[in-house]
């Protein structure tokens, strides 16, 4: 079967005295945001091309169908389908969530305290059926403070335009008209007369906060805040003590907060602290004090506090530490529990607020694991919390923990129905030196029987953007590769914050190429140390991780057997130049502003995957995207694949698969997500076993 051919319409682009040719720019429609809302507005020629690519992909992966089915059953077999979460005690009810063997969505249940009668107040499976939509994205599901109303938001396209619904719980009768084109979050007022929500503008950016009176027409909703800074987007929430509403505004690198009392009848948001370029801060309120988490004069963040009536008299609660990321915190009446990240290893600390003594919560003797805590109840006058941990080889274990007595009791362990022996796996933390001397942490998971003589295949996963740190927790899906002697390596490359703010700063803007260099150095290190060898590495990354894959494969294609790119940001220059797209303006401080800054333009042009495709051999590649993705538009990977076919000099497989009813996160529902993983893994395994 011949590969589809996307027609060429030559366009000569020009910026900063530089010209370049783009044969496929025509597939980007000017009304692309309308297409995200209504796919029938997609250009017919483009739709036909995407459908041909899907058929081409299906043809080439036909041999893998039995393997895909096997992997689907394997992955699903490791999930306890009939599962019940631990309960959370509110003021009047106990709440929990369950999943079923046949359902794809969660069911939310509650029981009045001191009663045995249970009540299902949300069934995602029934709601999906009622929607009559193939795609069913759930935004927020929240109960009012008086326990009588349910607020929920739904996206039926995958484009993240959420519609908010409010209904009574006891009879499911809607009490307000639906509110369309929101970001999805719902915040009830304490008296439950209103909800607050953020509205998306014409560029799919949440710029306005409205207050909606329940039962009143949506047209009467009151605008209480509007963000005028072009880069910033906004959201609203409530402090832990329920004394203030907090409006957070900003982009990835700079923030600003407004607040107003929860009892205020006519909300007038007050500025907490004026935005300062490069300064990120968030606030909470507890015990008559504001707590602030910020990197102001603290590169890797600190926690400080002030009294409500002395808003400028700050004192440090947790001071800054060099290259130790001071994370968020939870307050109880007598305790503060907070997180840190050191060298890509998360940690938890507990502080006694009476004597100010702090100690680390040690969960396990494993060298690499991921800890977490959660509350058991809304009432924070307690010493009891839930603590949990998991690691690349250990499923989650949840304990009831008494902070005062320092005693814990195992109350739940993640069950792997098909069986799991953690002793069959080896987890390693290694480090390698990058091109400029910086030390890159690696988390390696392998089966104990996997050979380390260079003959093993290896999946190298990376991301490296937005300060997002890659996790070190358990993934039952990865076992399908690890059990087949494919080593899984997570590269904690620059662009994340695994080693603090410097790690992020050294992998963004005019330092972005460090992200790519780090990944290539890691690959070569693994080859040198006999974990694998050339042409046995499978590269994998999604979204900004797809940008990573595209840049790396242009630089060092000889290292890889195959590459998987999910919703990849591969036409990054074109997107950066278009300020009308949803995310572009808010990412100026992550990637730069190519349109208005010649230095930024030249730098992005020098690494943008689409612009740097060369006439050379490329590895096997699977590229996946979604038609309704508003974060990375489908036309980026579509253009990329078409151009790559023009240039590549090999006969290796190049496939493009477009989900025609999905968004940035892919298919909705449990089975849909497993199907996508099974497809990716079947591609990986088929390459290692020469099936394709």
Homologous superfamily of 11-76+425-570+617-688 = Alpha/Beta hydrolase fold, catalytic domain (3.40.50.1820)
CA–CA dist 514, 623 (Å, integer): 24
pLDDT digits (tens, 9 = 90+) for 165-193: 999 999 999 999 999 999 999 999 999 99
Residue 539 has pLDDT above 90, yes or no: yes
pTM beyond 0.95, yes or no: yes
Going from N- to C-terminal start, the domains of the chain cover 11-76+425-570+617-688, 332-416
Q: Average pLDDT, whole number, for the chain?
A: 97
pLDDT digits (tens, 9 = 90+) for 129-170: 999 999 999 999 999 999 999 999 999 999 999 999 999 999
Residue 322 has pLDDT above 90, yes or no: no
Residues 687, 689, 690, 692, Cα dihedral to 10°? -60
Q: Given the structure tokens 């009810």, which residue do they identify?
A: 93
For 434, residues 6+ apart whose C-beta sits below 8 A from its C-beta are 440, 494, 514, 517, 518, 521
Residue 377: predicted pLDDT = 97
pLDDT digits (tens, 9 = 90+) for 289-310: 999 999 999 999 999 999 999 9
% residues pLDDT > 90 (the chain): 99
Residue 612 has pLDDT above 90, yes or no: yes
Going by C-alpha positions, the residue among 553, 644, 646 that lies closest to residue 607 is 553
For 211, residues 6+ apart whose C-beta sits below 8 A from its C-beta are 189, 194, 195, 196, 221, 222, 224, 267
pLDDT digits (tens, 9 = 90+) for 453-473: 999 999 999 999 999 999 999
Residue 468: predicted pLDDT = 97
pLDDT digits (tens, 9 = 90+) for 209-253: 999 999 999 999 999 999 999 999 999 999 999 999 999 999 999
CA–CA dist 291, 293 (Å, integer): 7
Residue 218: predicted pLDDT = 98
Question: Which two three-digit tokens encode residue 398?
Answer: 């949840």
Residue 424 has pLDDT above 90, yes or no: yes
With cut-offs at 50, 70 and 90, classify the pLDDT of residue 558. very high
Averaged pLDDT, 22-30: 97
Q: How far is CA 497 from CA 463, 500, 605, in A?
A: 11, 5, 25
Going by C-alpha positions, the residue among 425, 531, 538, 428 that lies closest to residue 483 is 425
List the beta bridge partners of residue 460: 489, 539
Q: How far is CA 121 from CA 154, 184, 377, 452, 677, in A?
A: 16, 19, 19, 52, 31
Residue 323 has pLDDT above 90, yes or no: no
């Amino acid at each position: 079967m011949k590969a589809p051919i996307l027609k060429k319409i030559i366009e000569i682009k020009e910026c900063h005295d530089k010209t370049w040719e783009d044969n496929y720019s025509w597939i980007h429609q000017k009304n692309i945001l309308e297409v995200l809302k209504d796919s029938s507005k997609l250009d017919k020629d483009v739709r036909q091309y995407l459908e041909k690519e899907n058929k081409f992909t299906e043809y080439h992966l036909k041999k893998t169908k039995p393997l895909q089915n096997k992997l689907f059953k394997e992955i699903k077999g490791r999930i306890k389908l009939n599962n019940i979460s631990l309960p959370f005690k509110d003021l009047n009810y106990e709440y929990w969530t369950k999943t079923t063997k046949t359902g794809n969505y969660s069911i939310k249940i509650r029981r009045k305290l001191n009663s045995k009668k249970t009540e299902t107040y949300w069934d995602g499976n029934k709601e999906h059926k009622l929607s009559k939509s193939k795609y069913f994205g759930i935004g927020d599901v929240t109960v009012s403070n008086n326990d009588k109303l349910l607020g929920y938001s739904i996206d039926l396209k995958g484009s993240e335009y959420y519609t908010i619904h409010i209904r009574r719980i006891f009879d499911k009768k809607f009490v307000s008209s639906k509110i369309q084109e929101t970001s999805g979050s719902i915040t009830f007022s304490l008296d439950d007369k209103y909800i607050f929500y953020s509205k998306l503008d014409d560029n799919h950016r949440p710029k306005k906060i409205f207050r909606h009176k329940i039962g009143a027409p949506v047209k009467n909703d009151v605008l209480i805040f509007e963000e005028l800074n072009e880069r910033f987007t906004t959201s609203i929430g409530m402090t832990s003590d329920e004394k203030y509403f907090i409006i957070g505004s900003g982009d990835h690198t700079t923030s600003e907060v407004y607040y107003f009392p929860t009892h205020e009848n006519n909300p007038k948001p007050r500025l907490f602290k004026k935005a300062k370029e490069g300064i990120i801060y968030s606030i909470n309120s507890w015990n008559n004090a504001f707590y602030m988490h910020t990197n102001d004069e603290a590169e890797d963040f600190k926690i400080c506090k002030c009294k409500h009536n002395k808003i400028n008299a700050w004192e440090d609660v947790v001071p800054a530490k060099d290259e130790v990321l001071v994370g968020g915190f939870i307050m109880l009446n007598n305790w503060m529990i907070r997180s840190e990240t050191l060298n890509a290893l998360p940690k938890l600390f507990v502080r006694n607020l009476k004597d100010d003594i702090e100690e680390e919560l040690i969960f396990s003797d494993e060298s690499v694991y991921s800890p977490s805590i959660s509350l058991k109840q809304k009432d924070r006058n307690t010493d009891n919390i839930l603590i949990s941990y998991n690691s690349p080889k250990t499923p989650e274990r949840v304990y009831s923990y008494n902070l005062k007595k320092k005693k814990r009791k195992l109350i739940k362990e993640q069950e792997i129905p098909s069986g799991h022996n953690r002793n069959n796996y080896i987890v390693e933390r290694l480090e390698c030196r990058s091109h400029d001397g910086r030390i890159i942490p690696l988390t390696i998971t392998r089966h104990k029987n996997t050979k380390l003589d260079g003959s093993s295949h290896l999946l190298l996963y990376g991301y490296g953007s937005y300060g997002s740190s890659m996790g070190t927790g358990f993934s039952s899906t990865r076992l399908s590769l690890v059990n087949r002697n494919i080593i899984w390596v997570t590269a904690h490359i620059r662009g994340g914050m695994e080693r603090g703010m410097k790690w992020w700063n050294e992998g963004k803007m005019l330092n972005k190429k460090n992200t790519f260099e780090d990944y290539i150095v890691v690959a070569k290190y693994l080859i040198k140390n006999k974990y694998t060898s050339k042409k046995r590495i499978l590269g994998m990354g999604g979204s900004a991780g797809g940008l990573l894959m595209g840049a790396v494969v242009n630089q060092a294609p000889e290292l890889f057997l195959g590459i998987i790119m999910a919703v990849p940001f591969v036409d990054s220059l074109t997107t950066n130049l278009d300020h009308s797209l949803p995310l572009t303006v808010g990412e100026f401080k992550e990637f730069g502003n190519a349109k208005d800054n010649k230095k930024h333009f030249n730098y992005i042009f020098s690494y943008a995957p689409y612009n740097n495709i060369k006439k050379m051999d490329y590895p096997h590649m699977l590229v996946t995207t979604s038609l309704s993705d508003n974060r990375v538009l489908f036309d980026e990977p579509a253009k990329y694949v078409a151009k790559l076919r023009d240039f590549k000099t090999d006969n290796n497989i190049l496939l493009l698969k477009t989900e025609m009813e999905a968004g940035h996160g892919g298919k909705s529902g449990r089975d849909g997500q497993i199907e996508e993983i099974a497809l990716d893994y079947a591609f990986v395994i088929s390459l290692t076993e020469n099936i394709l």
